[in-house]
Amino acid sequence: MTVVNIKINGKKYSDDIEDRTLLVHFIRDHARLRGTHIGCDTGHCGACTVLLNDRPVKSCQILAVQVDGESIETVESLEGSDGKLSIEQEAFREHFAMQCGYCTSGFLMMTHHLIREYPELSREEIREKLHGNYCMCTGYQQIVDAVQDAQKRHNDKKS
């Protein structure tokens, strides 16, 4: 057992955990933030994607003890404290970019990262960058629409 301190969405979570505790289980079961999902437990599907110090990671592939003292952002961080939806959230809703929604948190976190990392992405590039995130429902087209739109909204806001 090890005591870890992990900052999630700006809030500190501290717990005495088994060393083998996966980060995704820490987020879901210890911090009780259920927006991050598990779709495969083998690092393929991206449902568990969160940001670790602003970089997207698959939280089923990391032990919680590995990120002791670090900072994590999950889907719950996107909404403003005033209840205002983020650019990514708005765009996904506008474009019907989800059906069951099980994959959505992972896609939103990837989008959050992509639109800040790259000033411009073609549809083909978006598709390539999203290949680590599976969606079994939508066929991806409306997700690509949403990412494009989120990028535009982000760029418009900056300029």
Partner 1 sequence: MMKSGNAQVLEPADKTSTSSTRNVGKAVRRLEDLRIIRGKGGYTDDIELGNQHYAAILSSPYAHARIKRIDVSKARNLPGVVLVLTGQEAAKITRPMTSRAATVSPKSHYIMANEKVRYMGEPVAAVVATSRYIAQDAVDLIEVDYEPLPVIASIEDAMKKDAPRIYEELDSNEIVTDHFEFGNLKRAFQEADRIVKDRIRIHRYASTPLETFVVNAFYDQTRDELLAYATDQQPGRTVGSVSACLGIPSSNIRLIVPPVGGGFGYKLAVWQYVAIISLLSMKCGKPVKWVQTRMESLYAFHRPRGYMDAEFALRKDGKILGVKLTDWQSDGNWPYVSALYSLIKFANMSGVYEVPNLQFEYHCVATNDPPVVQDRGVGKPFMAFAFERMMDLSAKELGIDRARIREVNFVPPEKMPYTTASGEVYESGNYPLVFKKALEMSRYNYWINEIPKLRKEGRYVGIGIGCAIEPGTSNLGYYFLSKASEPDYNGAGQMSTVEIGQDGIIKVNMNGPEIGTGHVTTITQVVGDIFDVDAEKILVDSWFDSAHGHLTYAGTYSNAFNDVYLGAVMTAAKRLRDKALRISASYLHLPLESLSFRNGGIFSEEAEKEVLTLKQLAKISYGQLLSFPKGEEPGLKVVAGYINPTAKPFVRSDFNVQLTHANSTHIVVVEVSKDTWAPRIIDYVIVHDAGRVLNPGIVEGLAIGSTASGIGGALYEEFLFDQEENNLTLTFGDYMKPTAMEIPEIRLEMHESPAPNTVLGTKAVGEGGAITSLGAVASAVENALEPFNVRIRSLPITPENIWRMIKDTDEYRKLKGAN
**Residues making contact with partner 1 (CB under 8 A):** 18, 20-21, 25, 28, 32-42, 44-45, 47, 74-76, 78-79, 82-85, 88-89, 92-96, 98-105, 108, 123, 126-128, 130-144
For residue 154, give the amino acid letter: H
Q: Which two tokens stand for residue 113?
A: 């990262």
Query: Which partner in ligand FES, partner 1, none is near 56 (CB below 5 to 8 A by kind)?
Result: none
* Site residues (vs ligand FES, CB under 6 A): 38-41, 43-48, 58, 60, 98-103, 135-138
DSSP bridge pairs for 58: 49
Closer to ligand FES by CB, 3 or 85: give it: 85
**Closest separation between CB of residue 128 and ligand FES, Å?**
18
**CA dist 49 to 1, 36, 55, 122, Å?**
25, 7, 10, 22
**Closest separation between CB of residue 117 and partner 1, Å?**
17
Query: Which partner in ligand FES, partner 1, none is near 89 (CB below 5 to 8 A by kind)?
Result: partner 1
User: Quick count: other Cβ atoms within 10 Å of Cβ 71?
Assistant: 15
Closer to ligand FES by CB, 98 or 121: give it: 98
Nearest one of 98, 57, 104, 96 to 76, comparing CA atoms: 104
**Closest separation between CB of residue 58 and ligand FES, Å?**
4
**Closest separation between CB of residue 108 and ligand FES, Å?**
11
Distance (Å, rounded) from C-alpha 2 to C-alpha 84?
37
Q: Which helix (H) or strand (E) holds 87?
A: helix 87-94
Check: CB of residue 100 under 8 Å from CB of residue 130.
no
